């Protein structure tokens, strides 16, 4: 894929679009995603991890390519970091609907509210970790504590079997592509997880719960690259389950 292609929204699955941008200087690429359910007057959209305030013009331009922002009924903030959701106050102004909701875990909501968000929060743990869209399509959530924040969640689209993993499966790389090409590129995830995940035990706990619960066709991380196909997905899980990170790398004697 040519670099110029990243100037537009890119379809990554049925109904799901990447609306981020390629930041070659930062080596940390943020990946907001837009899910569009239905069409015409029945269209309903969900914006997941909408991004930072500095990213807002690029993200919203791509959203506008795809849908009237007034069709967005839900914002999902999978944790509280500014690169994930600090642009929500300006996003909600553009959406301009009184029934807009922001889905997050309560442990994140305590901090996210300090961005000045006006919309109602949808605390996922108070709603059986799921939300049903108008069409009947279900998004399921899972609490992934300390991966890397105490309120972190992931989101599963039951229709496309797509898992939005926020920082899990994230990567830092100067040689970035939107899609993982093969297993050899998994090493790009290593340094990010070693820096931001507290330990392999904590990370593996959440990884195994995801695998037990869901049939996953693709991984859509908030950083790094999309991992497509059940075989490559399974190998990515095994790669991270074998990766020492956080305090595992502390060389000091006990």
> What does the pLDDT look like over 101-147, one tens digit per residue?
999 999 999 999 999 999 999 999 999 999 999 999 999 999 999 99
Q: What is the pLDDT of residue 250?
A: 79
pLDDT grade for 2, boundaries at 50, 70 and 90: very low
Average pLDDT over residues 16-31: 80
pLDDT band at 172 (very low <50, low <70, confident <90, very high): confident
Statement: residue 34 has pLDDT above 80: yes
Q: Report which of residues 100 and 176 the model is more confident about.
A: 100
Contact 133, 157 (CB under 8 A): no
Which CATH class for the 3-249 domain? alpha beta
Listing DSSP states for the chain in one string gives --GGGGGS-EEEETTEEE-----TTTS--B--EEEEES-GGG-EEEEES---TTTHHHHHHHHHHHS-GGGEEEEE-SS--HHHHTTHHHHHHHH--TT-EEEE-HHHHHHHGGG---SEEEEGGGGTTEEE-TTS-EEEEEE-TTSSSTT-EEEEETTTTEEEEETTT----SS--SB--SGGGGGGGHHHHHHHSSBHHHHHHHHHHHHHH---SEEEESBS-BEESHHHHHHHHHHHHT---BGGG--S--
If one counts every other C-beta atom within 10 angstroms of the C-beta of residue 204, the result is: 18
Per-residue pLDDT tens digits for 189-241: 999 999 999 999 999 999 999 999 999 999 999 988 999 999 999 999 999 99
Query: Residue 29: what pLDDT?
Result: 75
Average pLDDT of the chain, as a whole number: 92
Q: With pLDDT > 90 as the criterion, what percentage of the chain qualifies?
A: 79
Across the range 84-89, mean pLDDT stands at: 95
Q: Rounded distance, CA 88 to CA 75, Å?
A: 8
Report the alpha-carbon distance of residue 149 to residue 107 in Å, rounded.
9
**What does the alpha-carbon distance between residue 249 and residue 33 come to, in Å, rounded to a whole number?**
33
In the chain, domain spans: 3-249
Give per-residue pLDDT as tens, 204-214. Answer: 999 999 999 99
Contact of 143 with 126, CB cutoff 8 Å: no
- pLDDT at position 1, please? 44
Tell me the C-alpha distance between 14 and 16, whole Å: 6
Averaged over 84-105, what is the pLDDT?
Answer: 96
**pLDDT above 70: residue 4:** no
Mean pLDDT to the nearest integer, 31-53:
94
Q: How far is CA 233 from the centre of its chain?
A: 16
Least confident of 41-45, 98-102, 147-151, 169-173: 169-173
């Amino acid at each position: 894929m040519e670099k110029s292609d990243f100037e537009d929204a890119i379809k990554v699955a049925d109904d799901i679009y990447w609306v981020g941008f390629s930041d070659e200087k930062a080596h940390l690429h943020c990946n907001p995603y837009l899910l569009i359910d239905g069409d015409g007057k029945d269209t309903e959209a969900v914006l997941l991890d909408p991004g930072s305030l500095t990213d807002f013009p690029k993200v919203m331009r791509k959203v506008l390519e795809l849908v009237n922002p007034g069709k967005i009924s839900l914002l999902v903030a999978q944790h509280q970091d500014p690169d994930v959701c600090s642009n929500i106050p300006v996003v909600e102004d553009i959406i301009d609907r009184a029934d807009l909701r922001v889905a997050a875990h309560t442990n994140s909501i305590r901090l996210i509210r300090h961005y000045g968000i006006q919309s109602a929060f949808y605390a996922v743990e108070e709603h059986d970790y799921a939300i049903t869209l108008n069409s009947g399509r279900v998004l399921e959530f899972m609490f992934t504590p300390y991966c890397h924040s105490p309120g972190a969640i992931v989101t599963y689209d039951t229709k496309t079997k797509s898992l939005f993993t926020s920082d899990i499966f994230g990567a830092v790389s100067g040689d970035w592509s939107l899609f993982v090409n093969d297993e050899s590129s998994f090493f790009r995830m290593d340094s990010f997880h070693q820096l931001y995940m507290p330990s392999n035990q904590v990370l593996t706990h959440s990884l195994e719960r995801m695998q037990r619960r869901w049939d996953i066709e693709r991984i859509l991380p908030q950083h790094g690259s999309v991992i497509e196909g059940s075989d490559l997905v399974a190998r990515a899980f095994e790669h991270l389950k074998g990766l020492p990170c956080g305090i595992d790398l502390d060389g000091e004697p006990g």
